[in-house]
Amino acid sequence: MGNEMGNEMGHETPETQLEVQPLLSAIDLCKSYGGLRAVDRVSIQVPSGSITGLIGPNGAGKTTLFNLLCNFAHPDSGQVTFDGAPIHTLPSHQISQKGLVRTFQVARVLSRLSVMENMLLAAQHQTGEKFWNVWFRPGQTQKEERQQREYASEILASVGLSAMAQSYAGALSGGQRKLLEIARALMVRPKMILLDEPAAGVNPTLINQICEHITQWNQAGITFLIIEHNMDVIMSLCDRVWVLAEGQNLASGTPIEIQQDPLVLKAYLGQ
Partner 1 sequence: MQGFIISLIIFTSIFALFGLGLNLQWGFTGLINFGHVAFMTLGAYTTVLLSVQGVPLPLATLVGALVAAGLGLLMGFATLRLRTDYLAIVTIGVSEMIRLIAVNEGWLTRGTLGLQGFPLPLASLNPTFPVRIVMLLLITAIVALGYRQLWRSLRQTLKKLPPEAIVPITVMALGYGSSLGLLLVGTGWAAKQLKPLLPAWGLGCLLLLALTLIGYFYIGLAQRLTKRRPQWSTGLMLVSTSALAVCGLWIYGIAIDAIYHYEKSPAKTGLMVISVAILALIYWGLEKLVRSPWGRVLKAIREDEEVTKALGKNVFAYKLQVLMLGGAIAGIAGALYSWQLTTVYPDNFPPLVTFDAWTIVVLGGAGNNAGTLLGSAIFWAYYNVTRFILGDIVPLDDARLGAFRIMLIGLLLMVVMVWRPQGILGKKEELTLGQ
Q: Does 92 bind partner 1 (CB under 8 A)?
A: yes
Any contact of residue 184 with partner 1 (CB under 8 A)?
Answer: yes
Instruction: Say how far apart CA 83 and CA 111 lie, in whole Å.
Output: 33
CB 45 within 8 A of CB 249: no
Q: Of 133, 162, 157, which Cα lies nearest the Cα of 145? A: 133
110 binds partner 1 (CB under 8 A): yes
Interface size with partner 1, residues (CB under 8 A) = 40
Closer CB to partner 1, 127 or 153, in the complex: 127
Residue 93 backbone dihedrals phi, psi, to 5 degrees: -70, -30
Pick one of 11, 108, 143, 266: the residue that binds partner 1 (CB under 8 A).
108
Residue 104 sits in the site that holds partner 1 (CB under 8 A): yes
The residue among 15 and 93 lying less far from partner 1, judged by its C-beta, is: 93
Shortest reach from residue 19's CB to partner 1, in Å: 32
Binding segment for partner 1 among 19-27, 78-86, 124-132, 229-237 (CB under 8 A)? 124-132
Out of 48, 79, 105, 126, name the contact with partner 1 by CB under 8 A.
126
Q: Which DSSP symbol is given to 7?
A: -
Nearer to partner 1, 16 or 111 (CB): 111
Other CB atoms within a 10 A radius of the CB of residue 20 amount to 15
- The single-letter DSSP state of residue 170 is G
Give all strands of the β-sheet with 36-47 in edge-to-edge order.
36-47, 22-33, 77-82, 85-86
The one-letter amino acid code at 75 reads P
Least distance to partner 1 from the beta carbon of 182, Å?
13
